[in-house]
Amino acid sequence: MKQPLAYVHPAAKIHPSVIIDPFVTIEQNVEIGEGTRIGSNVTIMEGTRIGKNCTIFPGAVLGAVPQDLKFQGEDTVAIIGDNTVIRECVTVHRGTASKGKTVVGSNCLIMAYCHVAHDCVIGDNVIMSNATQVAGEVVIDNFAIVGGGTLIHQFCHIGPHVMIQGGALINKDIPPYVKAAHEPIAYCGINSIGLRRRNFSNETIRDIQDIYRYLYLSGLNFSDAIERIEAELPASKERDEIILFVRNSKRGIIRGYV
């Protein structure tokens, strides 16, 4: 249902059940799935794909061209998954030739004034609190929670089930299952409360704690700690995920809090 004061390009593909409030602008080459609501004064630009049952609050701008001087008008997209809430004045830019797309997953809550730059990949069930600013080509994995006012440097990788303090300045990768806080940003233990809420068993939580004792409390460098973890701790999904994350980190992982 479109209000008469909204502009919708005739080539946009919008499910008949979508509610479009007044003063919305929707450009061509846009797709919006069933059950979604678009609040007033939202601008949805060319190349945007929005899933089912999303709520886009007033003032959001989705699919704007990247703030990247290398962008040459490539045919790229910005994708929003199903059941995601985009709050007031959020900006999500579409991709560049580097990745071709910016992705915000399903069941996410992106709070007011957040920015998601070109070629980012935000996983499912992610919460980004107010005014979080995410630079280009950042990856945030499933179930991560990012505190308000956080600044994330380009190319950083934030692992799944991470909890990040508000106002953090992030310039390193943050491995899975941990809490990160302080300035400079540092490891502050595992996110045990969040893991229990997501039905991780006490045994699994203890195993994750053992892994991070090797990484942060043993006095070993990260490479030696990983070798000890592989040699001395039993294989598990969580163990192998942490090992892979650390070995593949391009920016290096955060240090322990001193």
Q: Is 72 exposed, middle or buried (0-12, 13-18, 19+ CB in 10 A)?
A: exposed
- Catalytic residue selected from 21, 82, 119, 173: 119
| 123: alpha, beta or left? (left if phi > 0; alpha if psi -120 to 50) | beta
Among 182, 148, 177, 149, smallest CA distance to 163 is for 177
Name residue, tokens 């505190």: 147
Instruction: State yes or no: is 118 an active-site residue.
Output: yes
- Catalytic residue selected from 93, 115, 118, 161: 118
Quick count: other Cβ atoms within 10 Å of Cβ 241? 18
- Catalytic residue selected from 33, 39, 47, 136: 136
In 3-state terms the chain splits into helix, strand, coil percentages (rounded to 5) of 15, 30, 55
- Positions marked active-site: 118-119, 136
